[in-house]
Amino acid sequence: MADDLNNKMEPEISDASEEVEEGVKEEVAVVEEAEEKAAKSVKKEAEDKTAEVAAAAVAASAAGKEAAKEASKEAEAAAKAAKKAEEQAAKDAAKKAAAAEKEAEKAKLAQEKADARLEKKRQKRAAQQALIDACPPQYRPVSTSKYFWLAFLSAIPFIGFVATLILAVAGRNRNVKNFEKAILAYYIIALVLCLIAIIVIGVALPADIRENVLLALSKIAGSFGIG
């Protein structure tokens, strides 16, 4: 009975295994077909990406070459501009140096002329001082400032007349004595003229006018240091 059952089941088992095997084969075929499609898709994507990369590389290479050309042109232009600027700067520096050299030469000549004038003045002063030192003390020249103060002293009323008289008589320096003698002569002339005017006025003019004139003459004489 078991054998009969086995015999009955064998065709069914065989059919089931064949169906399973066919189903597995179909699934394997489907998987292989899917894998093949996936592989083709991946291969196509890879080819597309490779093409894109190649195109990008070509474009980048072209852009790089163009950029390199532009950079080369800009570098050449910059080099030319720098060279031109350097040449212009060298020319300007040469001009400035030449101008500075001329100014220095002019300044040197002016300084030499000034030094020569100063040396000439020094020599002249030294010669004058030598002549002054060679003179005896009583004949030595008198400075302008000393003449000024002697004249100022002589212009003081009464005191100036006395100082003028003393210096004209007892002065040690001949130049001072001569100067004071000239002032003393001026005083004497003024005194004589005043006396003549007083005599003429006393004789010729009326009494009222005479007093006014005498008063004016006394003021004039006072201004000269007389009386």
Task: Note the pLDDT tens digit of each residue in 43-56.
Answer: 777 777 777 767 77
**Which residues neighbour 226 within 8 Å (Cβ) at sequence distance 6 or greater?**
161, 187, 190, 191, 194
Burial of 22 (0-12, 13-18, 19+ CB in 10 A): exposed
* Nearest in space to 183 (alpha carbons), one of 202, 204, 168: 168
Supply the DSSP symbol for 155: T
Distance, in Å, from the CA atom of 154 to the CA atom of 132, rounded to the nearest integer, reads 26
- Contacts of residue 176, defined as CB under 8 A and 6 or more positions apart, other chains included, come to 142, 146, 150, 167
pLDDT tens per residue across span 111-166? 999 999 999 999 888 887 787 777 787 778 888 899 899 889 888 888 888 888 88
List the domain boundaries for the chain. Answer: 141-223
Whole-model pTM: value is 0.39
